[in-house]
Amino acid sequence: MSPNNYATPRVGVLGGSGYTGRELLRILRDHGGVEVAFATARSEAGDATELPGLAYAPPDGVDPGSVDLLFLCLPHGEAAPRVEELRGADVRIVDLTGDHRPGSGREEGAVYGLPELHGPELPDARLVANPGCYPTGVILALAPLCREGLVDPGRPVIVNAASGVTGAGRSPRRDLLFGEVAGDFRAYAVGNRHRHLGEMRAPFPGLRLLFTPHLLPVSRGILETICLPLRGDADAGAVRD
């Protein structure tokens, strides 16, 4: 029993060998307040995980409904069917894919896992949609300014963002090889075509958002430069406040 007289929560991870899953396992390893019952992987089944004594299990070798909390670190599109399969199970789910985020069409019943905006709803949530990388920066920057009415909705907000290559996942891709990205800096999904746009726009109905992502030749990290039009009566003091 844990010091608070409750049993240590049992946690499972589906898709633990990608960059998201491996980082999650590292966090869980250092958390100290949970027991990781399993982590699955396809090609790396049987290999050691970040946790001592725990090897990756094949996806069909575990019972996802046997844990208290289940993390989904699967490829986009594969989490939604899993959630449907577990609708009647007594398990809480944190979906780290984009399958249940705002703008996905499947957000009903999920709590958006941005504590700065939805903190009171998270403790009782059965399904948490973990925010995406680019949207986290955009939403946290814009939310307080829009809440105070400082942004001019008649003009566009322009976001130029740069991300490291691990944001594209761990599967091998020719355009992400060292020889392709080293010394380079390039835009992609130009023309407001990025899949996270719906998630960014959801908290700010009516706001015009122009978003251009770029690929940096580094392993991880994001830098976002956000240019936003203020209302005519807004000044620097109001923005700082």
The beta-strand segments (E) located in 25-115 are 35-39, 69-72, 92-95, 111-112
- CA end-to-end distance (rounded Å), the chain: 46
- Token representation of residue 42: 């396809």
Name the catalytic one among 73, 133, 146, 227: 133
Question: Residues near 168 by Cβ (< 8 Å), separated by ≥ 6?
Answer: 176, 215
Residue 97's CB is within 10 A of a number of other CB atoms, namely 22
Q: Which residues pair with 209 in a beta bridge?
A: 157
CA geometry: angle at 237 spanning 236 and 241, to 5°? 120
Pairwise CA distance, residues 209 & 199, whole Å: 11
Known catalytic residue: 146?
Answer: no
Enzyme catalytic residues: 133
